[in-house]
């Protein structure tokens, strides 16, 4: 199948490689995404021109005010000189504007007469570009605003029939056509019919939670091609013609921090995309940074189990995607997950199974951790070890114990992991402590929205543990000291109990006088535990003294 690139690498990946030739592409948007939708259309147009292909632009705006002319006049001028850019002008005649004498611009005299418009569409390609089908001549049509035509014609059904005929012409010529439709301007039935007619549908939308708006792009379909249909965050810089998706936005450490979220205590999650699925895998550079920070602060022994567990959860999540969404099984799941590790810079991994999967050996070459981590004198691929265990558990349906027997960081020629089926040693830690925040907080940007998501996850998971418990506010003092001890490893002393508030003092708080991140996460987790038991509260941590390691927790009814 011949595919046409949008010129935006990450978008092509979501589409499954590009847009099949002979397809019509509809970009759906809402009012607050309309400018970005037009920008995306214009960026695609300029990308096509820059690679030397041909564009026919059906415009409901003056030709000199279209995206190519406004934001890249030098590219538009070159394409006009080389007879690669053409305009079918649906604007000038209806607005009484003087028609252009440029031979590359055809002014439609009756833009409200769709039969007349289709006549120009049908004959234009033959007259100007000899009617040569692709691949002999690659032509893309950019129809800058379908909604404007629907609005001005006043009969959506007529416009949709025009689009159906236009689609047939595109298929015959093996061209590609793109247009934009604002869903807020039309009845739902019109939008649904348009989605049915077009071969490829891309949706831009904004979601809002707790006052924070996030913009997403999603592929609804792509001419029958396997594509990624998950919501993906995006960013647009119109002036520099950049349309960035989540993984591509990470161009610096500061940008990376903004994308990290806490899923459960100590577990990091980062969206990372490739051709077939949404990956939950951390790039090698960030793993290296975590290990370095742990070593510098003498925290490696303290946090390594948390890192193994983080890898395990991410390995399981990724393997489940390949199993459930893409129907892979066994070795195919394992191989696809290992290939993902290669994509994010972990090195090249190979798998060999022995004795009906009783023993699985994974070897990794070209690890990025060689020189920097040799000083630790022990295998340090903790996240990878957990990741492999999580992947194998899903791929083969058995529990495995994974040991790193060779490590490039120790001077070996490769990293080697041996997974033994049914192993009972090396069990995963119960993730109830938050000690790893000491290490991970410098990498985490916890916004109010992310903290609420973290709390909601903790409530959901702990409701199973505390099923049947019906705690009241008055009975909190019976439970709270034990909860604080078991979850945070700290001792709590009751200072005061009132009808509407309960106050505790925390001795030897390890987070005293440090980033508020520590206290915010700990209090959110305690609120989640109490809510899972049946009582909603608000917990605030205060620091009464800068010289003593004492914090005061005040619990009030929510």
Same domain, residue pair 13 and 118: yes
Max mean pLDDT among 198-202, 382-386, 526-530, 552-556 falls in 198-202
The verdict on residue 224 lying in a domain is: yes
Average pLDDT over residues 112-137: 82
pLDDT at 107 over 70: yes
Q: Which residue has the higher pLDDT, 20 or 368?
A: 20
pLDDT at 472 over 50: yes
Q: Which residue has the higher pLDDT, 202 or 545?
A: 202
Which run of H or E residues covers position 279?
strand 278-279
Residue 331 burial (CB count, 10 A): 14
The dihedral sign for the CA sequence 546, 551, 552, 554: positive
Task: Look at the chain and report how many structural domains it folds into.
Answer: 3
Q: Model confidence over 302-342: pLDDT tens digits?
A: 667 777 877 887 788 778 877 876 678 889 889 888 877 77
Q: Model confidence over 248-269: pLDDT tens digits?
A: 333 333 333 333 333 333 333 3
Same domain, residue pair 127 and 239: yes
Residue 4 confidence (pLDDT): 93
The verdict on residue 428 lying in a domain is: no
pTM higher than 0.75: no
The verdict on residue 71 lying in a domain is: yes
Residue 320 confidence (pLDDT): 83
The verdict on residue 73 lying in a domain is: yes
Same domain, residue pair 127 and 151: yes
Same domain, residue pair 124 and 230: yes
CA nearest 140: which of 50, 214, 10, 62? 50
Could you say which of 249, 281, 304 is where a domain stops? 249
Backbone φ, ψ for residue 474 (5° rounding): -65, -25
Q: Which residue has the higher pLDDT, 546 or 537?
A: 537
Q: Which DSSP string corresponds to 487-552?
A: HH--EEEEEEE-SSEEEEEEES-TTTTS-HHHHHHHHHHHHHHHHHHT--EEEEEE---SSS-EEE
- Residue 212 pLDDT level (bands cut at 50, 70, 90): low
Q: Are β-strands 212-222 and 200-209 bridged in parallel, bridged antiparallel, or unpaired?
A: antiparallel
- Residue 152 pLDDT level (bands cut at 50, 70, 90): confident
pLDDT at 491 over 60: yes
pLDDT at 355 over 70: yes
pLDDT at 457 over 70: yes
- Residue 516 pLDDT level (bands cut at 50, 70, 90): low
The verdict on residue 437 lying in a domain is: no
CA nearest 554: which of 482, 512, 497, 471? 497
Q: Model confidence over 271-290: pLDDT tens digits?
A: 333 322 233 566 666 677 66
Identify the domain containing residue 285 by its residue range. 261-421
Same domain, residue pair 485 and 411: no
Here the tokens at position 164 are: 């159906």
- Residue 427 pLDDT level (bands cut at 50, 70, 90): low
Could you say which of 421, 455, 479 is where a domain stops? 421
CATH number of the domain residue 54 falls in = 3.40.50.300
Which run of H or E residues covers position 57?
strand 54-59
Residue 285 confidence (pLDDT): 63
The verdict on residue 434 lying in a domain is: no
Residue 177 confidence (pLDDT): 96
Q: Which residues contact 327 (CB under 8 A, 6 or more apart)?
A: none
Same domain, residue pair 120 and 227: yes
Phi-psi region of 366 (alpha: psi -120 to 50; beta: other; left: phi over 0): left
Here the tokens at position 556 are: 């009030």
Average pLDDT over residues 391-415: 87
Same domain, residue pair 375 and 510: no
The verdict on residue 430 lying in a domain is: no
Q: Model confidence over 221-247: pLDDT tens digits?
A: 999 887 877 777 787 877 777 787 754
pLDDT at 409 over 50: yes
Q: What is the mean pLDDT of the chain?
A: 77
Same domain, residue pair 123 and 194: yes
Average pLDDT over residues 465-472: 79
pLDDT at 512 over 90: no
Same domain, residue pair 267 and 245: no
pLDDT at 183 over 60: yes
Average pLDDT over residues 144-172: 91
The verdict on residue 58 lying in a domain is: yes
Same domain, residue pair 168 and 226: yes
Residue 278 confidence (pLDDT): 31
- Residue 442 pLDDT level (bands cut at 50, 70, 90): very low
Could you say which of 214, 249, 284 is where a domain stops? 249
Same domain, residue pair 215 and 347: no
pLDDT at 446 over 60: no
Share of the chain above pLDDT 70, in %: 76
Same domain, residue pair 160 and 265: no
CATH number of the domain residue 489 falls in = 3.30.1380.20
């Amino acid at each position: 199948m011949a595919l046409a690139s949008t010129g935006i690498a990450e978008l092509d990946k979501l589409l499954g490689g590009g847009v099949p030739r002979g397809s019509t592409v509809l970009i759906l948007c809402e009012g607050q995404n309309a400018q970005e939708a037009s920008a995306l259309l214009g960026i695609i147009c300029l990308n096509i021109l820059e690679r030397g292909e041909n564009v026919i632009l059906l415009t409901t705006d003056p030709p000199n005010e279209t995206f190519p002319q406004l934001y890249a006049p030098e590219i538009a001028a070159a394409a006009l000189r080389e007879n690669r850019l053409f305009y079918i002008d649906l604007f000038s005649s209806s607005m009484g504007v003087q028609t252009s004498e440029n031979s590359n611009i055809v002014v439609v005299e009756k833009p409200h007469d769709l039969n007349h418009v289709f006549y120009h569409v049908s004959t234009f390609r033959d007259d100007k570009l000899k009617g040569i089908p692709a691949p002999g001549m690659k032509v893309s049509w950019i129809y800058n605003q379908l909604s404007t035509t629907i609005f001005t014609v006043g009969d959506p059904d007529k416009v949709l029939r025009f689009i159906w005929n236009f689609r047939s012409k595109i298929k015959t010529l093996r061209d590609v056509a793109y247009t934009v439709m604002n869903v807020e301007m039309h009845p739902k039935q019109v939008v649904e019919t348009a989605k049915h007619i077009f071969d490829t549908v891309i949706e831009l939308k904004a979601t809002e939670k707790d006052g924070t708006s996030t913009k997403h792009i999603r592929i609804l379909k792509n001419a029958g091609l396997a594509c990624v249909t998950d919501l993906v965050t995006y960013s647009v810089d119109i002036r520099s013609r950049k349309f960035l998706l989540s993984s591509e936005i990470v161009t610096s450490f500061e940008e990376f921090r903004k994308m990290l979220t806490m899923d459960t205590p100590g577990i990091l999650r980062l969206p990372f995309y490739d051709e077939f699925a949404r990956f939950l895998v951390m790039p090698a550079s960030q793993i290296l940074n975590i290990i370095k920070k742990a070593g510098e602060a003498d925290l490696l022994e303290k946090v390594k189990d948390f890192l193994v567990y983080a890898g395990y959860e991410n390995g399981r999540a990724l393997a489940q995607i390949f199993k459930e969404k893409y129907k892979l099984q066994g070795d195919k799941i394992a191989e696809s997950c290992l290939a993902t590790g290669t994509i994010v810079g972990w090195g090249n991994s190979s798998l060999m199974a022995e004795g009906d999967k009783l023993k699985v050996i994974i070897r990794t070459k070209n690890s990025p951790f060689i020189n920097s981590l040799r000083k630790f004198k022990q295998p340090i691929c903790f996240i990878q070890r957990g990741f492999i265990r999580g992947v194998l558990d899903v791929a083969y349906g058995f529990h495995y114990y994974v040991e790193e027997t060779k490590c490039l960081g120790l001077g070996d020629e490769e990293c080697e992991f041996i997974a033994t089926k049914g192993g009972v040693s090396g069990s995963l830690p119960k993730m109830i402590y938050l000690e790893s925040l000491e290490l991970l907080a410098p990498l985490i940007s916890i916004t109010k929205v992310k903290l609420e998501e973290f709390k909601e996850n903790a409530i959901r998971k702990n409701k199973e543990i505390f099923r049947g418990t019906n705690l009241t506010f008055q009975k909190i003092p019976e439970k709270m000291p034990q909860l604080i001890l078991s979850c945070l490893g700290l001792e709590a002393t009751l200072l005061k109990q009132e009808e509407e508030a309960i106050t505790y003092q925390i001795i030897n708080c390890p987070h005293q006088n440090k980033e508020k991140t520590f206290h915010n996460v700990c209090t959110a987790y305690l609120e989640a535990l109490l809510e899972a038991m049946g009582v909603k509260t608000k917990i605030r941590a205060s620091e009464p003294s800068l010289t003593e390691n004492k914090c005061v927790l005040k619990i009030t009814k929510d």
